[in-house]
Structure 1
Amino acid sequence: MTPDTPSVFGAVHLGYLVIETERFADWRRFGADAIGMHHDALDADRMRFRLDDKECRFLLVRGPAEDVVAMGWHLADHAAFEQVEARVRASGVPYRRGTEQEAAARGVERLLRFPGPKGITQEIATAPRTAAEPMTMLAGGFVTGESGMGHVALTTTRPAETRGYFTHVFDARLTDYIDETVSGAKLKIRFLRVNERHHSIAVAAVRGAPVDPIRTRVQHLNIQVAELDDVARSYQRVHELGFSMALSVGQHTNDRELSYYARTPSGFEWEVGWNPIVVDESTWEPSTHQGISVWGHRPVGQTIIDKLAQFRTATRSLAHKEQTVPQLGGTGIPDA
């Protein structure tokens, strides 16, 4: 963004995610019966989950990836949409407008699709549609609104480039850092916000080594429940229905969110959290926290086989160049 270009910060909200999977039956049980979201079956190859009155928060499409394949950003108005669209067009990257069918599946009006870090397509959209049917779900409610629907965490071998991308495209701001050691590996995690939510993107990297120990493009995604009881009740349902838990209940050091992490049918993790802090732009200054948790968030059922699998994934990542989009700011932003 140049000094004379208006910022879209505050007009950007994480709106929906697109997940590609062949495990529709397991995802139906996980999303509706364990996590407690509203489920809509569209056809044999597509289904959606809702968190609120919007038609779509998660679109699941049939395919082999077993991963998040697209991130959808709601723009507050057509002016903000056109600002981001202009940045994409000026960069020279390939982009295309979504079809009427694609927009309808996502419950939006205008849709533009373009490349993002780690091969995750980025989508911008306007005018998310309100569903005609009331919700039927086990959870009492989720927090969305002006903060968007939660956050996505990525592991990367190119953290500066990934941060640069979201800063250039969406005017993301650095909220803070966490330094953590996991199984002997030193991690630095950067937290980026696009509105008052503490972060919509978390970017984690192994310090001093260009390796990525996570198979999936997304390490975890987060949704926020409105009531503490819904953390406990969904945690219990995840266990009772036989889904595996990744991390037990705990509280984070930086955003103070109380949460747990379940493992999805596709293998990446799903965080259910409650009561994170809201950033006050007039006073906030980035800082560094030691460790991800004040208490809790202990690994559940992790075996030596799991650790070896992560080691193999990290080793294989050395042979593959991670996708960045240098035309859209992915040339890197050094840490302060």
Structure 2
Amino acid sequence: MSVKSLGHLTITTPKRDEWIEFAGNVLGMQIGPDKDGVTRVRLDERSYRLEFEDGDEEGLSRIGWEVPDAAGLEDVIERLEKDGLTVTRCSAEEAAARDVQGLAKTVDSSGFNLDFFYGQQKSIEPFISPRSANFVTENMGLGHAVLMTPVFEDALRFYTEVLGFRLSDTLRLGPSRVAFLRCNPRHHSVALIEAPEKGIHHFMVEVSEVDMVGRAHDACRDGGAGIMMDIGRHANDDMFSFYARTPSGFGLEYGHGGLLVDDSEWTVTEIAGPSLWGHRGSMV
């Protein structure tokens, strides 16, 4: 399998200043300089994990999937093209502008813009959180993204059969099916929700200590952001977390203690509900 992790997300928004305040002073991420209407945000030694770019509409504009090397990128390109997708091989100049050595782009059947890259730049400057947060990334990437798709069956096939993700477990939310998919030990790097229209439901970042979750929760309660779902623990990945409402209106899960999957011992199940306790509120 060539896809290693969720590398980064790019969010288009007319509220970039609000996102900068939210990401930095509430969540504890390190804000980089503005450049040509784009702000890059660090969570670790990488040059960025999130991007906020100016635009008239709110939304997730790109999902960046990391592969290990040039051979891995070629393998992904071959599989994408074999599946009938149009793939753009980006120039060295465009890759360098994205702080990576190699880059290819496509659009999946749900309509999401996908980037595949390798060789992202590591900063020589230390990551410094304005709220003393320490994010769990390393080889597992940014965290996870939960995507709504009107072509659930094809999206599930794409991630498992084309990109090689493994199914961790499933869930039903009313009439909607949910599939949790992993590409590394993190329980899921992407989850798919059956929905009438495509969109991002939420994305998750993980921190190394439970008190960091509490401090971010307090910062939201003190006016930093609205709480969509209060503190709780999930039934499948054991994540202790809460959900904040981002400036774009979708959710941001801020958690600690996510389950790491051992492939040799894992069995796929359907969980009866999303949480063991808590997570009271609504994600709509």
Q: TM-score, normalised by structure 1?
A: 0.79
Q: Choose the corresponding residue for 2:69, options 77, 91, 95.
A: 77
Q: Which whole-Å CA distance do the structure 1 matches of 2:220 and 2:96 have between them? A: 31
Q: 2:25 aligns with which of 33, 47, 50?
A: 33
Asked if the contact 2:83/2:162 (under 8 Å) is kept, the reply is no
Q: Deviations over 1:294-326 (max 9, x none)?
A: 0000116x8xxxxxxx6xxxxxxxxxxxxxxxx
Q: Structure 1 residue runs of 4+, over 4 Å off?
A: 99-102
Match of 1:321 in 2: none
Q: Aligned pair 1:288/2:270, yes or no?
A: yes
- Helix, strand or coil for the counterpart of 1:119? coil
Q: What is the one-letter code of the residue matched to 1:194?
A: C
Indicate which of 226, 237, 252 corresponds to 2:208: 226
Q: Deviations over 1:233-255 (max 9, x none)?
A: 01111222341111001000011
- Structure 1 partner of 2:222: 240
- Write the deviation string for residues 188-226 of structure 1: whole angstroms up to 9, x where unpaired: 2111111111001111226xxxx35xxx71000011111
Q: CA RMSD in A?
A: 1.9
The answer to whether residue 241 in structure 2 is matched with residue 259 in structure 1 is: yes
Q: What residue in structure 2 maps to residue 106 of structure 1?
A: 98
Gaps (5+ residues) in structure 2? none
Residue 147 of structure 1 pairs with residue 140 of structure 2: yes
Paired AA for residue 141 in structure 1? N
Letter in 2 for 1:47: T
1:105 deviates by 4.5
CA distance in 2 between counterparts of 1:76 and 1:65 reads 33
| Partner Cα distance (2:218, 2:248) in 1 | 20
Residue 55 of structure 1 aligns with which residue?
47
Per-residue deviation, 1:50: 0.7
Corresponding position of 1:324? none
- Aligned to 2:169, which of 169, 176, 179? 176
Q: 1:20 aligns with which of 12, 32, 46?
A: 12
Q: What is the aligned partner in structure 2 of residue 165 from structure 1?
A: 158
Instruction: Give the 3 Å change call, closer, same or farther, for CA 161–89 of structure 1 in structure 2.
Output: closer
The verdict on how the C-alpha distance between 1:227 and 1:105 changes in structure 2, with shifts beyond 3 A counting, is: farther
* Corresponding letter in the other structure for 1:46: V
Aligned with 2:122: secondary structure? Answer: coil
Q: Which of the pair has more CA radius of gyration?
A: 1
Q: In the alignment, what sits opposite 1:307?
A: none
Secondary structure of 2:126 counterpart: coil
Structure-2 separation of matches of 1:73 and 1:241: 33
Identity %: 31
C-alpha change, 1:144 and 1:240, in structure 2 (3 Å) is same
CA shift in 2, pair 1:28/1:105, >3 Å: farther
SS across alignment from 2:175 = strand
How far the C-alpha of 1:117 sits from its partner, in A, is: 4.0
1:204 and 2:196 correspond: no
Distance in 2, matches of 1:102 and 1:245, equals 38
DSSP-derived class of the 2:72 partner = helix
Report which of the two has the higher share of strand: 2
CA–CA distance in structure 2, aligned partners of residues 36 and 102 of structure 1 = 29
> CA offset at residue 77 of structure 1?
1.7
Distance 1:92 1:156 in 2: 19
CA distance in 2, matches of 1:237, 1:101: 40
Query: Which residue of 58, 64, 67 corresponds with 2:59?
Result: 67
| CA shift for structure 1 position 166 | 1.0
Q: 1:250·1:259 contact (CA, 8 Å) conserved in 2? A: yes
Asked if the contact 1:71–1:120 (Cα under 8 Å) also holds between the matched residues in 2, the reply is: yes
1:264-303 deviations in Å (ceiling 9; x for gaps): 1111110011111111111111001111000000116x8x
Q: Figure out how many residues of one structure are paired with residues of the other and give that number.
A: 283
User: For the residues of structure 1 that align with 2:214 and 2:32, how far apart are their CA atoms?
Assistant: 25
Cα-to-partner distance string for 1:157-177 (whole Å, 9 max, x where unaligned): 321111111113320111101
